[in-house]
Structure 1
Amino acid sequence: MAKTPKQPAATNGGAHDDEAPEAVAAPETGTIDLEAAAPQEGGQPSMRILGQYLKDLSFENPHAPGSLAPQKAQPEISISINVNARNLAPNDFEVELHIDAKATAESKVVFAAEILYAGVFRLENFPQNMLHPAVLIECPRMLFPFARQILGDATRNGGFPPLMLDPIDFAGMYQKRMAAQAQAAV
């Protein structure tokens, strides 16, 4: 029933070939204490994943079994992605990747899925100007394949073809968020 969305160049969400792209929420920057994670003298930057985990998963198929019957047209699928991060210790950060996917047909929800996937990362010896982008770009990039697989499994287990998201441009999301914050400060 669901068609794998294609990622338009202008946004970070998925959209069908024949539908207008959905706006994607800008990533949350969370509270990251950059002063606490000062680089060590002469050390090489290192990033380690201390753990990763599923914090929340929701899948709704409110009109089953009718929604599983052949449909006249492909459902419209909207995707939104958010990133949030917070300090746990001077060099440890929890990074959350929040993905919402909703398929609708004829003004009815076909399915709705929400996933909150997170990881704890240790970033050591990063220059101050590189720490914030590393936490909000590289960390979610490492989490994304796992969250994508869980979302694909959830939609398949809900009776639909697996929803396999295209890769996300986390650097572009970060740049848009920083530009929006700079504009808001002016």
Structure 2
Amino acid sequence: MSDTPANPNNAAGPEGQQTAPALTVLAQYLKDLSFENPHAPAVYQSNSTPKIEVNVDVQGRALNPNQYEIELSVAARANREDGEAMFVVEATYAGVFEITNVPREQLEMVMLVECPRLLFPFMRQIVADATRNGNFPPLMLEPIDFMGIYIANQQRRAAEQGNGNGEQATPVN
């Protein structure tokens, strides 16, 4: 008798058993990038510490059966103490993912948690490079808890439905 399981990857066997969930990255690409330095070169003569605001958004859409495009968007703005913009960087990094054997009720979670988690390191590098190329210290985005955001949005959506106001919640902000 062998110590190796007959079906170690939970793949379909001869009886046509259900295969394991799979997530495959088919493509990754920079979809949009904008860097604005509206007050150069005067901004470099200021010694003020900027206030940085970062907004993140995740959007997904079906392309084909089991194939989805997921877009991870970041908008970061650095303002001086007087409110004047030092820089603005906006980027959208996307990927095409093949998602198979995932129950329908878990598909949204995979699209809004696992896919952006895979895209995030690339987005982080793009934002850091753009700010460094604008002659600012690289803006290193903090890690994002996509699962925590997803759960919070699910709870908010459930509370809104419980209150009966019928407003639609955005998947991830």
TM-score (norm. length: structure 1): 0.75
Correspondence for 2:171 = none
CA distance in 1, matches of 2:44, 2:120: 28
CA distance in 1, matches of 2:74, 2:17: 38
Deviations 1:45-64 (A, max 9, x none): 11100001111111000000
Deviations 1:25-61 (A, max 9, x none): xxxxxxxxxxxxxxx9511111100001111111000
1:102 corresponds, among 77, 99, 108, to 77
Which amino acid in the other structure matches residue 87 of structure 2? F
**What pairs with 1:59-98 in structure 2 (closer than 5 Å)?**
59-71=35-47, 73-98=48-73
Correspondence for 1:42 = 18
1:124 corresponds, among 100, 104, 107, to 100
2:89 corresponds, among 110, 113, 123, to 113
Secondary structure of the 1:159 match is: coil
RMSD: 1.3
Secondary structure of the 1:146 match is: helix
Deviations 1:99-137 (A, max 9, x none): 010000011000001001110000111122322111110
CA distance in 2, matches of 1:82, 1:181: 17
Q: Does 1:151 align with 2:124?
A: no
1:164 corresponds, among 110, 119, 140, to 140
1:178 corresponds, among 144, 151, 154, to 154
Secondary structure of the 2:107 match is: helix
Q: Which runs of 4+ in 1 moved over 3 A?
A: none
Same amino acid, percent of matched pairs: 47
Deviations 1:88-108 (A, max 9, x none): 111011101010100000110
**More relative contact order in 1 or in 2 (CA 8 Å, sep 6+)?**
1
Which amino acid in the other structure matches residue 44 of structure 1? A
Q: What are the ranges of 5 or more consecutive residues in structure 2 without an aligned counterpart?
A: 1-15, 163-173
